[in-house]
Amino acid sequence: MTTPQPLSIKTSDPTGILIRWSSGETTRFSAQRLRGLCPCARCVNELTGVRMHDPKSVPAQLQQTGARLVGNYGLAVAFSDGHDTGIYSFRYLLDHPEQPEAAGTAQAP
């Protein structure tokens, strides 16, 4: 099975990115969630795979400021906090679909 390719990437909404895949699926990723998933070497230790950046520290109002294709395997996303070093492979994006807010982690305030 080959990894689906994005047919279109919509970045007109700064709060998220909408991707239409060759599989027919359409997925939306909020900028906040994408930032929390950032796989770059500043966010994840390359040797240990331990995430050094706390997704909970991402402000809810964080915006994406652009996305561009990298080769034919990934998407580079820039954020309003100035972070733009993450390259999200299509496989990684497909493996991390947007989760419903606070699913399974609901806690009393």
Only one of the segments 32-40, 59-67, 68-76, 89-97 lies at the binding site for Zn ion (rule: CB under 5 A); that segment is: 32-40
Question: Of these, 31, 34, 37, 43, which contacts Zn ion (CB under 5 A)?
Answer: 43
Task: Single out the segment in contact with Zn ion by CB under 5 A; choices: 15-23, 30-38, 74-82, 93-101.
Answer: 30-38
List the one residue from 74, 79, 86, 88 that touches Zn ion (CB under 5 A). Answer: 86
Instruction: Tell me the closest approach of the beta carbon of residue 109 to Zn ion, in angstroms.
Output: 29
Q: Rounded to an integer, what distance in angstroms lies between the CA atom of residue 107 and that of residue 109?
A: 6
| Binding test (CB under 5 A) with Zn ion, winner from 18, 40, 76, 94 | 40
Q: Six-digit token pair at 18?
A: 């909408």
Say if residues 57 and 38 touch (Cβ distance below 8 Å): no
Based on the shown chain and the rule CB under 5 A, indicate whether residue 31 belongs to the binding site for Zn ion. no
What order do you get walking across the sheet with 26-30 strand by strand? 6-10, 16-21, 26-30
- Find the length of the chain: 109
Binding to Zn ion in span 46-85, by CB under 5 A: none
d(CA 4, CA 46): 26
Place of tokens 């990298």: 70
Binding site for Zn ion (CB under 5 A): 38, 40, 42-43, 86
